[in-house]
Amino acid sequence: MEKEMILELLEQRKFKELKEELESMHPVDIVEMLEDFDQKQQMLVFRLLAKEEAAEVFTDMNSDMREDLINALTDSELEEVMDEMYVDDTVDVLEEMPANVVDRLLMVTDEETRQKINILLQYPDDSAGSIMNVDYISLRKEMTVADAILKIRQVGINKETIYTCYVTEKKKLIGAVDVKDLLTAGESRLIEEIMDENVLCAKTLDDKEDVAITIKKYGLVAIPIIDHENCLVGLVTVDDAMFVLQDETTEDISIMAGVSPNEDSYFGTSVFKHAKNRTLWLMLLMLSATVTGEILGHYEAAMAVMPVLITFIPMLMGTGGNCGSQSSTLIIRGLAVGEIQFKDIFRVIFKEIRVAFVVSCLLAVVNGIRIYIMYDQNLTLAFALGLTMMAVVVMAKCIGCTLPLLAKKLGLDPAIMAAPLITTILDTCTILVYFNIVTAVFHL
């Protein structure tokens, strides 16, 4: 395996071969490898990397590794790395570092970059500005295609993306030209002839998730970002968008499991942070579950007369909870990917009711038969439980599909209306339905 080979070369101090080996590796893979190395080995490898590769590796590292590295590097080495980095990546790095490290990093960056950094640092965490890239290529409409290509030749080398160039007039965004069009158009044609004037763009303060969704929806490689005066200030690229979307999904999924979302990774989060993120919901649900308990308590008499009733409670509560979670989850995801909107609420309810009817019939029959067999042909009991099952399933599906939509309408995150809350709500409802039916059927 590559890693073993690298380690061997390290021990034998065969730095020349090592250097060659590293050049053939992708920065992402180098980082993955370094994670298993001790600090001394990390430093040795890092110092052998070519400037650009070193910068990329530095960008991809996790913050702990990065901090150790910064402390170990000399100012001049650090400066070399910083020079090769894109400003937006530098900002991401700075945001994670302790003050003293930040000062040191800023010390070794040139004035111009420092200004760009300060501007980027001002954008709120969830804004497009905070993830945008400020190294873009802007053209003028009076340029010819040849001029444009020449400009890309000159400045393109240190731009993260050149696939789309933006046309500006007094800094204002007036159009976009795809490099594809530049290459395929006649050299003497003017940019204004081939530029696309209705170019999709986003504002610096737009929610970064919305921007990512736009990039996905329209299949863009990058989207230009403009400020409140419609001046072009940067762009967000598709690879950044993918990570934004992944983080948002992870956030949704944690909320759906009753865990307060968390920027850091699972292992990156301390035990107490984990506990904190999970306790709030558990506490809330535990206390609300006591309501169910109290209600259950009111039927002690009935259960005293017919103790067998107790044995059906887990099955009914479980099935109710699962039915509800199924519906709510499908709706929450539908809302997240923009497949369902609030205006569809009645279509959704109608659909869920029909689904519930089919499902509940099946469950009721299977369950009825089981009870008929297991409880010496007690037809009334089978009937009562079948009836309860149907009522519970229909109720569960209706509540399960409605609450996320209402949450959305009220501007809440629909994800809070997932399994944990739905289940707790349904437990109460299920007990009520169950005992009202059985007490009626058996005149308890």
Of 7, 94, 152, 444, the residue at the interface with its own copies (CB under 8 A) is 152
Of 13, 153, 170, 443, the residue at the interface with its own copies (CB under 8 A) is 153
Q: Does 118 bind its own copies (CB under 8 A)?
A: no
Q: Considering only 82-90, 95-103, 214-222, 403-411, which stretch makes contact with its own copies by CB under 8 A?
A: 214-222
Decide if 233 contacts 227 (C-beta within 8 A). Answer: yes
Decide if 204 contacts 233 (C-beta within 8 A). Answer: yes
Long-range pairs, 227-233, Cβ under 8 A, ≥24: 227/203, 228/203, 228/204, 229/172, 230/172, 230/173, 231/168, 231/171, 231/172, 231/173, 232/136, 232/138, 232/166, 232/168, 232/171, 232/172, 232/173, 233/129, 233/132, 233/134, 233/204
Secondary element (H or E) of residue 225: strand 222-226
Of 121, 293, 373, 406, the residue at the interface with its own copies (CB under 8 A) is 293
Q: Does 249 bind its own copies (CB under 8 A)?
A: yes
Closer to its own copies by Cβ: residue 4 or 218: 218
List the Cα angle 382/385/389 in 5-degree steps.
Answer: 135
**Tally of CA atoms within 13 A in the half-sphere of 76 that contains its CB:** 0
Residue 62 burial by Cβ neighbours in a 10 Å radius (0-12, 13-18, 19+): middle
**x/- contact string, 71-100, with its own copies (CB under 8 A)?**
------------------------------
Q: Does 432 bind its own copies (CB under 8 A)?
A: no
- Shortest approach of its own copies to residue 270 CB, angstroms? 10
β 202-203/222-226 pair status: parallel
- Residues of this chain, 224-243, that bind its own copies according to CB under 8 A: 238-239, 241-243
Q: Which residues, 6 or more positions from 290, have their beta carbon under 8 angstroms from its beta carbon?
A: none
Alpha helices per DSSP H over 35-73: 39-48, 51-60, 63-72
Closer to its own copies by Cβ: residue 101 or 284: 284
Closer to its own copies by Cβ: residue 109 or 428: 428
Of 347, 377, 406, 436, the residue at the interface with its own copies (CB under 8 A) is 347
CA 60 to chain centre: 18
- Residues of this chain, 404-423, that bind its own copies according to CB under 8 A: 419-420, 423
Distance between start and end Cα atoms, the chain: 73
Q: At how many degrees (to 10) do helices 313-336 and 238-256 cross?
A: 160
Of 355, 382, 429, 433, the residue at the interface with its own copies (CB under 8 A) is 355
- Shortest approach of its own copies to residue 245 CB, angstroms? 7
- Shortest approach of its own copies to residue 224 CB, angstroms? 15
**x/- contact string, 25-64, with its own copies (CB under 8 A)?**
-x-x------------------------------------
Q: How long is the chain?
A: 444
- Residues of this chain, 301-340, that bind its own copies according to CB under 8 A: 303-304, 307-308, 310-315, 317-319, 321-323, 325-326, 328-331, 333-334, 337, 339-340
# residues near its own copies by CB under 8 A: 107
- Residues of this chain, 264-283, that bind its own copies according to CB under 8 A: 265-267, 271-272, 274-275, 278-279, 281-283
d(CA 123, CA 223): 17
Using CA atoms in the order 102, 106, 109, 111, what is the torsion angle rounded to 10 degrees?
A: 150
Q: Does 202 bind its own copies (CB under 8 A)?
A: no
Closer to its own copies by Cβ: residue 91 or 363: 363
- Shortest approach of its own copies to residue 7 CB, angstroms? 18
Q: Considering only 103-111, 122-130, 203-211, 261-269, which stretch makes contact with its own copies by CB under 8 A?
A: 261-269
Closer to its own copies by Cβ: residue 166 or 312: 312
- Shortest approach of its own copies to residue 40 CB, angstroms? 24
Q: And the tokens for 425?
A: 């709500």
Q: Does 184 bind its own copies (CB under 8 A)?
A: yes
